[in-house]
Amino acid sequence: MNAILGKNCRDIVSGFEGICISYIEFLYGCREYGLQGKAEDNKRRDRIDYFFEKQLEILDEGISGKVDIPEETEPVLFGKECRDKVTGEKGICVGRVVFLFNSNQYIIEIPSSDPDKSSRREYYDEGRLEVVEKSPKEIDPESVQGSRPGGILRDGDYPEDFKLQLSDLRR
């Protein structure tokens, strides 16, 4: 059982508090936990903020005693070429999101047909995916992990008010 899902947690860097309702893990070894903040002024807070486990402190049991916590399972599709049964799109599985209340989703990196464009990521419920048998594109998860966990970040992954732009880092 996951030790953080359903718990009330605080990010020790920003002070943000919320209930842990999901975690996202990547083929590259990165795992982040999604906290949903409490409603303010009776307004629903739809945004989920993700934090590395080392940033979080558990404040109390939150809702963990009121809900069924999903069992911790291995991400069996990591590194495999997968096909979406609905659209037929194919790509490599690079991540998974485990939700407290929803079905798990796998993140599929779909290559662009245009060599000058980046691939894109799509999130599919695990039941929609099937492994492409005998695919030459399969990746061994250990072959892409560094000495420290990493993940996938692109320009669009950052909030609009992010002060340091990725383009500044590339100069």
* 53 in the same domain as 21: yes
The two structure tokens encoding residue 139: 């990746």
What is the predicted pLDDT for the residue at 158?
44
CA atoms within 13 A on the CB side of 28: 11
Structural domain containing residue 111: 81-142
Query: CA angle, 49 as apex, 45 and 53 as ends, to 5°?
Result: 140
The tens digit of pLDDT for each residue in 25-63 reads 998 888 999 999 887 766 766 678 999 999 999 999 999
Q: How many helices (H) and strands (E) does the chain have?
A: 1, 10
- Find the largest Cα–Cα distance for the chain: 54
In a domain, 1, yes or no: no
The tens digit of pLDDT for each residue in 54-112 reads 999 999 999 999 999 988 888 889 999 999 999 999 999 999 999 999 889 999 999 88
Q: Which amino acid is at 169?
A: L
In a domain, 151, yes or no: no
In a domain, 27, yes or no: yes
In a domain, 170, yes or no: no
In a domain, 2, yes or no: no
In a domain, 121, yes or no: yes
Q: Report d(CA 107, CA 97) in Å as an integer.
A: 8
For residue 15, the domain's CATH number is 2.30.30
